[in-house]
């Protein structure tokens, strides 16, 4: 879908490389400019987030390499950087540098706190951003510490995906007007924005300021339960017809405790009963009981277990690749197989890219 779009990524961590990977998955030509030296040890020898990209090692302290970096950006449709505010300007690579040489450039910036504000220059991580944004508050059952899957809500949801949306919007605008733009994608902004669906319930009785008392934050029919083997089962039969089926399969359809689905006063006792019930048998028993029904119950699988699930396997959602298990590109389009692109060796395209620039007298 993005064939012909050229993007330059300045190597960073977390959401910015993920956003660039997603754009490469969608067909853009992404060149990642990497620092000299070894890769980030947390990512291993092959960084899955570099799949589908050209990998170029440049020393931005070297005048020749800096000239090459500027030449690459001058021909790009978009740029992605995930450094703290002001770092690119100090390197001589801020948006103003390219205002004349590439006025259509969409300059994508990925930070935790944003380009301005009291915390803009402070360090932070996923939990800090979503906690400050209000997106972590409802993420637990009453009495437990709020907890979400690492990186998914903040780094990826509130960060990388909003950067992708911003870059795509900027590219469409540049095609229409001939003018580029700067995209300020902050994880705190996106994480708060993602709360819109949840906060839309605030007009009625479905959203409480107290955790565990809202329609979607861990009522007894919307949470996970431990099973006898230490595995977990997810339950979210929100609608009455699904809740009725859930009770029927458990043999609780006539139990007076469960008749009133939305009676918050009964939720603690209902949760306790269901906890004891699910803890009596292993997760495989419950998975078989609810399989192929609309009761909205499913076991909690690890990525490796998920890869073997019949539905996940049928769609090819997880792939065992050169960097280990990795997810297929998403979303999908007609006629395109969702297979991951190859991951380059660090700096493997450096000479080819530099030779191309020299051949065209750009450096």
For the chain, what is the domain count? Answer: 2
pLDDT of residue 45: 61
Q: Tens place of pLDDT for every residue, the chain, 363 residues?
A: 999 999 999 999 889 999 999 999 999 999 999 999 876 666 666 789 999 999 999 999 999 999 999 999 999 999 999 999 999 999 999 999 999 999 999 999 999 999 999 999 999 999 999 999 999 998 988 888 888 999 999 999 999 999 999 999 999 999 999 999 999 999 999 999 999 988 888 766 788 888 888 888 889 999 999 999 999 999 999 999 999 999 999 999 999 999 999 999 999 999 999 999 999 999 999 999 999 999 999 999 999 999 999 999 999 999 997 778 999 999 999 988 788 999 999 999 999 999 999 999 999
pLDDT of residue 46: 74
CA distance 345 to 45: 8
* 307 domain residue, yes or no: no
66 and 144 co-located in one domain: yes
Six token digits for residue 221: 């029919």
* 190 domain residue, yes or no: yes
Does the annotation count 229 as an active-site position? no
36 and 81 co-located in one domain: yes
* 227 domain residue, yes or no: yes
The DSSP string of 284-314 is HHHHHHHTTSSS-EEE---HHHHTTSHHHHH
178 and 288 co-located in one domain: no
pLDDT of residue 259: 94
18 and 131 co-located in one domain: yes
**Residue finishing a domain among 300, 316, 347:** 300
CATH number of 180's domain? 3.40.50.10540
Task: Name the active-site residue from 59, 125, 309, 349.
Answer: 125
- Assign 3-class secondary structure to 91-103: HCCCHHHHCCCCC
127 and 169 co-located in one domain: yes
* 319 domain residue, yes or no: no
Task: Name the active-site residue from 25, 50, 155, 217.
Answer: 155
250 and 138 co-located in one domain: no
CA distance 51 to 55: 10
* 278 domain residue, yes or no: yes
* 19 domain residue, yes or no: yes
pLDDT of residue 271: 95
275 and 341 co-located in one domain: no
* 214 domain residue, yes or no: no
Domain that holds residue 296: 222-300
Does the annotation count 155 as an active-site position? yes
Backbone φ and ψ of 114, nearest 5° = 105, 175
CATH number of 262's domain? 3.30.1540.10
* 285 domain residue, yes or no: yes
């Amino acid at each position: 879908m993005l064939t012909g779009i050229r993007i330059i990524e300045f190597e960073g961590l977390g959401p910015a490389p993920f956003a660039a990977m997603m754009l490469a998955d969608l067909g853009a030509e992404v060149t990642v400019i990497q620092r000299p030296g070894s890769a980030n040890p947390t990512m291993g020898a092959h960084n899955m987030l570099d799949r589908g990209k050209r990998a170029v090692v440049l020393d931005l302290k070297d005048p020749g390499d800096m000239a090459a970096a500027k030449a690459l950006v001058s021909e790009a449709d978009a740029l992605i950087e995930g450094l703290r505010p002001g770092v690119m300007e100090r390197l001589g690579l801020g948006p103003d540098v390219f205002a004349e040489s590439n006025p259509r450039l969409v300059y994508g910036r990925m930070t935790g706190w944003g380009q301005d504000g009291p915390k803009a220059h402070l360090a932070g991580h996923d939990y800090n951003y979503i906690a400050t944004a209000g997106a972590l508050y409802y993420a637990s059952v009453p009495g437990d510490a709020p907890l979400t899957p690492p990186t998914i809500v903040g780094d990826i949801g509130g960060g990388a995906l909003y950067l992708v949306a911003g870059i795509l919007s900027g590219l469409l605008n540049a095609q229409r007007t001939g003018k580029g733009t700067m995209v300020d994608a902050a994880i705190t902004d996106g994480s708060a924005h993602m709360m819109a669906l949840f906060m839309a319930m605030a007009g009625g009785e479905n959203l409480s300021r107290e955790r565990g008392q809202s329609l979607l934050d861990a009522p007894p029919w919307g949470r996970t339960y431990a099973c006898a083997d230490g595995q977990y089962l997810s339950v979210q039969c929100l609608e009455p017809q699904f809740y009725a089926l859930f009770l029927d399969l458990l043999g609780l359809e006539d139990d007076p405790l469960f008749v009133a689905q939305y009676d918050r006063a009964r939720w603690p006792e209902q949760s306790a009963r269901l906890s004891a019930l699910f803890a009596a048998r292993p997760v495989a028993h419950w998975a078989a009981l609810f399989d192929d029904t609309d009761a909205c119950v499913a076991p909690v699988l690890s990525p490796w277990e998920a890869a073997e699930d019949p539905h996940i396997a049928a769609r090819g959602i997880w792939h065992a690749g050169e960097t280990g298990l990795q997810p297929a590109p998403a979303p999908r389009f007609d006629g395109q197989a969702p297979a991951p692109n190859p991951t380059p060796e660090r700096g493997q395209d450096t000479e080819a890219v530099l030779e191309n620039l020299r051949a065209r007298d750009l450096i």
